[in-house]
Amino acid sequence: MRALLIGVLLLSACKKPAESPKPPQAVKPVLQNLQLGGSIFGTRWSAKLRGKAFAKAALETQIAAALERIDAGMSTWRKDSELSAFKAAASGAFSFSVETAAVIRQSLVIAEATGGAFDPTVRPLIALWGFGAGARQSAPSKAELEQARSAVGYQKLTWKGATLLHKPQAETSLDLSAIAKGYAVDVVADLLKKSGAEHGMVEIGGEVVAWGQRQEGGPWKLAIDAPKDASASGSAFAAITLLDNAAMATSGDYRQFRMVKGRRLHHIIDPRGGEPVEHGLASVTVIAATCALADAYATALMVLGPIDGLALVNADPRLEALFLMRENDHWQQRRSRGMAQHLLNAE
């Protein structure tokens, strides 16, 4: 028995201690890819997103409701919009919704920062030159131009409360077309992020917000159209941007324009002088933290031109920009100091 006990003890001593069980490997959740789209503001909107789970029908309903709300407040084409009611109102105080008032306030801040190059009261001048809602087709006389200019000027507007805006004369009106689309992109992007979209891109008529990564990995790649007259979007590219948790907007003179006696008349009007800008700048693409900011500044920089506009961007850490100058049938790039980091294969 003693020999047997010693043998058992020796055998036990030779056995390896039992290994602790390995913790289970974390399983990465499978992300769902989803594409959404529709019509709004006389153009198309689209969204690409990836996340853990989405209720497509519910998302489409929420987005449609948000865009309809913005359109009802800020459209210059709808007769039942807040801006149309403001245009038709007599002088005095006018009550806006909280959302529309917030966008107007942001517009007025940008107007001040750009010295009036961006001005939400420019609507009478845009119509006078034959663009936008209520546009005419013949060139204005000097008297008509002076009359329209008398109704323009962001300084004329004063707030009488959080949402109560006072206009001094009946002819003063508002056009938020150069910021509302970008604002709508921000709203949809925020909605999708809150719904679980870890990666995504939202685009409305060329204005974009992108976050996370594209499905293939890396930042989102987006093309900047070459500023060819009357060209369809996507027919030719001037540059490719890398958009990483940022917004992008482009303003240009090559789609809404007409030639009159060798003069290019387009929809980008300088509110300060009352006439279409003529400094050879074909388009400006702006990258910023929000699409509302990028949208508004793209228009402002088109008005300011390549010299003053570039100086403004380089002095503002929130902005980067690519200017495309027209030179006969070609174009020349001018970039803000940090724009190269947002361009693919930038020299």
- The CATH number of residue 119's host domain is 1.10.3980.10
Confidence of residue 7 (pLDDT cuts 50, 70, 90): very low
User: CA torsion angle for 161, 110, 144, 137 (degrees, to 10)?
Assistant: -110
Report yes or no on 209 lying in a domain.
no
Report yes or no on 347 lying in a domain.
no
Say yes or no to pLDDT of 318 above 60: yes
Report yes or no on 173 lying in a domain.
no
- From residue 87, alpha-carbon distances to 42, 80, 108, 129, 147 in Å are 20, 11, 17, 18, 16
Report yes or no on 248 lying in a domain.
yes
What H or E segment, with its residue span, contains residue 248?
strand 246-252
> What domain range includes position 278?
219-342
Q: Are residues 337 and 244 in the same domain?
A: yes
Report yes or no on 15 lying in a domain.
no
Q: What is the CATH number of the domain that holds 332?
A: 3.10.520.10
- CA gap 318, 297 in Å, rounded: 11
- When the pLDDT of each residue in the chain is averaged and rounded to a whole number, the result is 87
Per residue in 280-306, is it b (16+ CB within 10 Å) or e — as a string?
ebbbbbbbbebbbbbbbbbbbbbbbbb
User: CA torsion angle for 105, 108, 112, 116 (degrees, to 10)?
Assistant: 170
Q: Are residues 161 and 236 in the same domain?
A: no
Tens digit of pLDDT for each residue in 221-234?
999 988 766 655 65
- CA gap 157, 221 in Å, rounded: 40
Q: Are residues 141 and 236 in the same domain?
A: no
Tens digit of pLDDT for each residue in 37-63?
999 998 999 999 999 889 999 999 999
Tens digit of pLDDT for each residue in 147-204?
999 999 999 999 999 999 999 999 999 999 999 999 999 999 999 999 999 999 999 9
Tally of structural domains, the chain: 2
Specify the pLDDT at position 344: 92
Report yes or no on 91 lying in a domain.
yes
Q: Are residues 143 and 224 in the same domain?
A: no
From 132, 150, 167, the end of a domain falls on 167
Q: Are residues 336 and 233 in the same domain?
A: yes
Q: Are residues 136 and 226 in the same domain?
A: no
Q: Are residues 226 and 150 in the same domain?
A: no
Structure-block tokens of residue 36? 């959404």
Specify the pLDDT at position 233: 62
Q: Are residues 224 and 140 in the same domain?
A: no
Q: Are residues 153 and 229 in the same domain?
A: no
Report yes or no on 55 lying in a domain.
no
Say yes or no to pLDDT of 9 above 50: no
Report yes or no on 58 lying in a domain.
no
- CA gap 301, 255 in Å, rounded: 17
From 137, 167, 197, the end of a domain falls on 167
Q: Are residues 162 and 268 in the same domain?
A: no
Closest CA to 292 of 136, 154, 118, 147: 118
